[in-house]
Amino acid sequence: MPSRLSALSPTVVAISLMVGAMVLFSMGHGLVRFASSELHPFQIGFLRSTFGLIFMLPLILRGWDFSDLRLKRPKLHLIRGALSAVNTLAWFTAIAIMPLGEAVALNFTSPLFATILAAIFLGEVVRARRWTATLIGFIGVLIVVRPGVETVQLGALLALGSAMSIAVNVLLIRVMSQEDSTRAIVLTFNLAITFFTLIPAILVWAWPSPIMWAVAFAIGVTTTVAHLMLTKAMSLAEASAIVPLEFIRLPMAVLIGFVWFAEILDVWTIVGATIIGCSAVYIARREALAARRITTTTST
């Protein structure tokens, strides 16, 4: 079996890892929804962060060489950790109180927000096609949320707020990665998010049942492994080849919501979700192609 795996092209391996990551992310979302029947989303967020940190520490600290862990931008790390904690709590609350497929669809707006914020704060050049895709994506949001036709639900606002915080997070990583190591960024992220979710969890704490301990552990492991698989996939193949596979999360979320929780999305939500997903994938693909052109120009 190892010899067969080694014979596969890096792109094939990357695609397999990406698909596996999206499946694990979707399973994690479903487990969060299941755990919310007994535990508050704030507590689930803390337990997920704690178990994820425990699982990640041996990988982060391997070799006991800490020379690259000195931070040059500590304030940005602190801001990112606090923002990520807010994002986690908002996202888990959204999953707990709204249909899973709808929450994931709105979460796909993150690249749309990232496009706008990168143009405003980083001075990045955004051309007409990406602006058009962004506009179309927000039209999809209006179709899903339907303000004026239905009351905008708290879950939808939390999902959109989570997507915006993810976009800010991406911009912070772009800035921090210019001076701090990847290992330092990963370590401070895991430590900070665990610390900042602790107090909200204490305020709503209820002692989990044995089953919920197991579920919380499974959430931490599945989402952490999914992040690792995603990172490895990005290192093996061009982003333009694998980023569109993120769209797998949407039908997976709809399927899990239907099978586990008997959730059925209406036609307008499906249409809006499809528009959002396609816009997000197009923007991500355009960014990857632009990055490749910059790399090629620089190397020549």
300 residues of the chain, pLDDT tens digit each:
444 545 567 878 888 888 898 899 999 999 999 999 999 999 999 999 999 888 888 877 776 566 667 777 888 888 988 998 999 999 999 999 988 988 988 888 888 888 888 788 777 777 888 889 889 989 998 888 876 555 568 888 899 999 888 888 878 877 887 777 777 777 788 888 999 999 999 999 999 999 999 999 999 999 888 888 887 887 777 666 676 777 788 888 889 999 999 988 888 888 998 898 888 878 877 766 666 655 555 544
d(CA 271, CA 51): 37
Q: Name the strand (E) or helix (H) holding 177.
A: none
pTM of the predicted structure, to 2 decimals: 0.83
* Chain length of the chain: 300
CA terminus-to-terminus distance, the chain = 39
User: Position 72: which residue type?
Assistant: K
CA dihedral 29, 32, 34, 36 (to 10 degrees): -140
Residue with token string 């709590």:
89
Kindly tell me the sign of the dihedral angle through the C-alpha atoms of 99, 25, 170, 184.
positive
Would you state the structure tokens that stand for residue 106, as one six-digit string? 């709105």
**Coil, helix or strand for 150?**
strand
User: Position 179: which residue type?
Assistant: E
With 0-12 / 13-18 / 19 or more C-beta atoms within 10 angstroms meaning exposed / middle / buried, residue 184 is buried
Neighbouring-strand partners of residue 150? 147
Task: Say what the pLDDT of residue 284 is.
Answer: 74
Hey, where are the domains in the chain?
7-299
**Coil, helix or strand for 147?**
strand
